[in-house]
Amino acid sequence: MNPFVLHLECSACAKIHSPRQLINLCPCENPLLVRYDLSAVKASLPHKVQGNRPHTMWRYRELLPPGNSQTTISLGEGGTPLVDAGRLAASLGLSRLWIKDEGANPTGSFKARGLSAAVTMAKPLGAERLAVPSAGNAGGALAAYAAQAGLQAHVFMPRDVPPANRIECETLGAQVHLVDGLITDCGRLVAQGVKVNGWFDVATLKEPYRIEGKKTLGLELAEQLQWRLPDVIIYPTGGGTGLVGMWKAFDEMRQLGWIDSRRPKMVSVQAAGCAPVVRAFEQGKPRCEPWSAAATRAAGLRVPRAIGDFLILEILRQSGGAAVAVTDEEMLAEARAMGRLEGLFVCPEGGATLAALKKLIRSGYVRPSDEVVLFNTGSGLKYLHLFEA
Ligand SMILES: *Cc1c(COP(=O)(O)O)cnc(C)c1O
């Protein structure tokens, strides 16, 4: 374990737990967050991160759970390009626009970051069989990192998951369980398997380290912008792990003195056919109601209920952020626009961020002088079936 790790703390009731055990939620059923001794990290890193380290997420190892001598289960995740989207910015009348291209990760999505961290921690803590509910990309990432770790992976996916996701899992040696239902139904089956078969559940935010992996999105973004943050971040939100992770990164970097206290406005974009965060945000509620009959072809956004919903809503409100729903047609049209103008073959979830940006420019929420970052969370290559004309 990283000597700077103090403990795990419940995000809701603040109860403290030992990190030296395989653990899921707090007994109060809320997610656990890793807490670090940040003044000790600060003393050991007077010049922020060392420039000569490789550009993967493990570059920030003082702020990640495994210790220095611990073997990381890694395929080179992180270090993705922050593309200066000049042509797209000009077409929108914006001064600066970037696309953080997470499609460049191993397994073609940013799920690689979280599952690299989770599998790296689960193996030495004694897990042998890992299980995950997945709407698409988490399954492939678990399959990959479990294979590298020599562990068994059980992936529960909706039967109508994009074919690339299922084929990827099977090819990488995972046991695939197709479920007539949504990711929440898959989650229930994983929980049963945990009880009956002793699997370890690595569902997002039910396991404390996937969020630490996704936290590196925020660390990397700050470093790529010379330790400043943009005015607006637009993030396609399913379980919200990336949003919660980035916000945690901003807090930790502030305490380390790496950035000032200015924060971007955090914007969640969801699919019109599954928008529990948008609805709860608009109604001023602290938690989301489960979305019934969730339907969208953007698999990563087909999440009718997120366990960290209260954390997402808190961040949107604290940051003066927004929540926007867009249709599948808008996502796919804007994904094509990102491809034509910037040469990036983005996933529909990535296209959703541009669709949201256009709405926010029209409403006056985003001003021409704002610096905006869009998160393309995965590669369009995993969704060929949607792009075929
Ligand atoms: C999982 C996923 C999302 C949603 O990410 P969260 O951090 O769970 O909100 C968005 N896009 C893609 C491509 C995904 O795989």
Query: If DSSP codes are grouped into helix, strand and coil, which group holds residue 236?
Result: strand
Which of 99, 102, 269, 377 gets mutated to test ligand 1 (max ligand atoms within 8 A of its CB)? 377
Which of 100, 109, 326 gets mutated to test ligand 1 (max ligand atoms within 8 A of its CB)? 109
- Ligand 1 centroid to Cα of residue 136, in Å, is 9
The pair of three-digit structure tokens given for residue 28, joined into one six-digit string: 């109060």
Which of 115, 137, 184, 288 gets mutated to test ligand 1 (max ligand atoms within 8 A of its CB)? 137
- Ligand 1 centroid to Cα of residue 359, in Å, is 21
Q: If phi over 0 gives left and psi between -120 and 50 gives alpha, with beta otherwise, what is residue 93?
A: left
Query: Which DSSP symbol is given to 60?
Result: G
The pair of three-digit structure tokens given for residue 182, joined into one six-digit string: 């949504």
- Ligand 1 centroid to Cα of residue 299, in Å, is 8
pLDDT tens over the chain, length 389 residues: 999 999 999 999 999 999 999 999 999 999 999 999 999 999 999 889 888 899 999 999 999 999 888 899 999 999 999 999 999 999 999 999 999 999 999 999 999 999 999 999 999 999 999 999 999 899 999 999 999 999 999 999 999 999 999 999 999 999 999 999 999 999 999 999 999 999 999 999 999 999 999 999 999 999 999 999 999 999 999 999 999 999 999 999 999 999 999 999 999 999 999 999 999 999 999 999 999 999 999 999 999 999 999 999 999 999 999 999 999 999 999 999 999 999 999 999 999 999 999 999 999 999 999 999 999 999 999 999 999 97
The reported pLDDT for the residue numbered 33 is 98
Provide residues with CB under 6 Å of ligand 1. 109, 111, 136-137, 204, 236-242, 300, 347, 349, 377-378
CA distances (Å), origin 360, targets 185, 285, 338: 34, 22, 17
The pair of three-digit structure tokens given for residue 6, joined into one six-digit string: 């103090």
The pair of three-digit structure tokens given for residue 92, joined into one six-digit string: 């929108």
Residues contacting residue 64 through CB under 8 Å, at least 6 positions apart: 2, 57, 58, 117, 212, 213, 216
- Ligand 1 centroid to Cα of residue 323, in Å, is 15
The reported pLDDT for the residue numbered 347 is 98
- Ligand 1 centroid to Cα of residue 233, in Å, is 15
Nearest CA to ligand 1 atom 2: 300
- Ligand 1 centroid to Cα of residue 63, in Å, is 22
What is the rounded distance in angstroms from the CA atom of residue 139 to the CA atom of residue 172?
Answer: 10
- Ligand 1 centroid to Cα of residue 300, in Å, is 4
- Ligand 1 centroid to Cα of residue 270, in Å, is 10
Nearest CA to ligand 1 atom 12: 300
CA-based nearest residue to 264, from 229, 223, 226, 288: 229
Nearest-atom index, ligand 1, CA of 382: 13
What is the rounded distance in angstroms from the CA atom of residue 99 to the CA atom of residue 283?
Answer: 30
Segment (H or E) for 105: none
The pair of three-digit structure tokens given for residue 346, joined into one six-digit string: 């983005």
Nearest-atom index, ligand 1, CA of 136: 15
